[in-house]
Amino acid sequence: MLKKVATLILTLSTCVNAMTWEGETKNKPSIPLPRTSAPDFTATAVLHDDFTSVSLSDYTSKSQWLVLFFYPFDYTFVCPTEIRSFSDAAGKFADINVGVAAVSTDSHHTHLSWTRTPRENGGVGPLNIPLLADTGKKISYDYGVLITDPTDDMFGAALRGVFIIDPSGTVRSVMINDDGAGRSIDEVMRTVQALQYGDEHEGEGCPANWTPGEKTIKTNADGSKEFFKEWA
């Protein structure tokens, strides 16, 4: 009898947890576009072999930019290459006042196990960035990257989304890939640098493939001619 009651409680608990996000999926997730407020979040994360709490305000309160990136699953194939690459570049991002945080719908216990798994065995090893556990799937849903189609073999996981958020908590860039395409950390870095340059130099824009130190465009009809003459 007790076993049946325990099973019933577990089943009900599972259903309630599923409803917290599946009920919302009657409406497809909406992606927060550039120039809109980034959805707030707080989650348990793994950093430096321990559990900690990470919030959006941890970055905005320090007037820091944030690269928030989502990935589908721990213990997979493309994901560890991205996470390790972002982690290796964490110091370069910090040099330009940018924090980096990763999110998946795995639990913090799975994250911890993954960071303790040697890289040669498919683990990520020790990291310089936090891995956030979005087990309730709310963060992924709020950022529009949650796969909500029950017929999809990645149902309940997050797409490869990257959101660049400025110190005011405003989304400035959104990049989303399907599962098989890993992201370019150099391009994320370049995009942040271009956004920062534009904020610091009113009336100028960064052209395609711009990198720091290269010429920019005056964003008016007369001023832009100087750039276009050389570019033609």
pLDDT in tens, 94-103: 999 999 999 9
H or E element, residue 226: helix 224-231
Question: Global pTM?
Answer: 0.88
pLDDT band of residue 58 (cuts 50, 70, 90) is very high
Q: Is 219 inside a domain boundary?
A: no
Q: Is 212 inside a domain boundary?
A: no
Residue 79 designated active-site: yes
Tell me the backbone φ, ψ of residue 88, rounded to 5 degrees: -65, -30
| pLDDT score of 21 | 52
Residue 3 has pLDDT above 60, yes or no: no
Between 19 and 80, the more confident residue is 80
Residue 43 near residue 53, CB atoms below 8 Å: yes
Q: Is 152 inside a domain boundary?
A: yes
Residue 18 has pLDDT above 60, yes or no: no
Between 200 and 7, the more confident residue is 200
The domain tally of the chain equals: 1
Tell me which residue range forms the domain holding 64: 24-200
Q: Is 172 inside a domain boundary?
A: yes
Cβ neighbours of 25 (radius 10 Å): 17
Q: How far is CA 178 from CA 4, 31, 79, 106, 175, in A?
A: 42, 15, 12, 18, 10
Residue with structure tokens 């639990």? 107
pLDDT single digits (tens) 170-215: 999 999 999 999 999 999 999 999 999 999 999 999 999 999 999 9
State the average pLDDT for the chain.
Answer: 91
Q: Is 208 inside a domain boundary?
A: no
Considering only the C-alpha atoms of the chain, give the largest distance between any 2 of them, rounded to a whole number of Å.
84
Q: Is 72 inside a domain boundary?
A: yes
- Partners of residue 45 on adjacent β-strands: 52, 132
Q: Is 38 inside a domain boundary?
A: yes
| Among 182, 194, 222, CA closest to 76 | 182
pLDDT single digits (tens) 187-199: 999 999 999 999 9
The CA distance from 109 to 50, in Å, is 10
Q: Among the options 79, 139, 162, 194, which is catalytic?
A: 79
The CA distance from 187 to 160, in Å, is 15
Q: Is 56 inside a domain boundary?
A: yes
Q: Return the CATH number at 79.
A: 3.40.30.10
| pLDDT score of 28 | 80
